[in-house]
Amino acid sequence: MLRNCVLPGILLALTLLPVQVLAETPVDLRGYCANPEFGERCETAKEADNPRPVRLAVMFEARETRIPEDAANRLDAFAALALQTGQWLSITAHAPNREQEAGGEKVSKDLALERAEALRQAMLDRGVPENHISLAINLLPAGDTRAQRGEIFLQ
């Protein structure tokens, strides 16, 4: 009789565990395709209902590599999701291409790389394994506000 009660209790506890972990996360994990930084919208109704974010964008200040404090909760939630699903992360950091300035292209590449490294370190600090993270950089035209972002993709 005791076995009949214990097994369902264990199964119930195991099924509730991920829900409790996500419930304690102060960020709604739905709708990251509707990125507030760029006003992007989900392309399909099914995509809008997807409870797992595909991408997270972090906006940096111009010429800065420090991750803004207001991104911490979203980074926490994204890392928790990556850990729960076992998915890998691809980080792409952008910077404006200032090739017209002396040494500009190198400075731009260094800025993008430092942003990518900052996002990588943020994910490592949150427990994502180092071998589950890849990095890339991208230079965009100077003046393009999208050049001030870093993106983390679940793969």
Is the pTM here over 0.85, yes or no?
Answer: no
pLDDT higher than threshold 60 for residue 46: no
58 domain residue, yes or no: yes
In a domain, residue 2? The reply is: no
Q: What average pLDDT does the chain have?
A: 75
Res 91: pLDDT: 96
CATH code of the domain containing 64: 3.30.1330.60
pLDDT above 90 (res 143)? no
Q: Sorting pLDDT into bands at 50, 70 and 90, what band is 24?
A: very low
**Is residue 33 classed as helix, strand or coil in its secondary structure?**
coil
Specify if 81 maps to a domain: yes
In a domain? residue 9: no
In a domain, 23, yes or no: no
Domain interval for residue 113: 29-154
Domain total of the chain:
1
Q: What is the DSSP string of 38-72?
A: TT---SSHHHHH-SS-SEEEEEPPTT--SPPGGGH
- Are the beta carbons of 97 and 75 closer than 8 angstroms? no
Predicted local confidence at residue 45, as pLDDT: 52
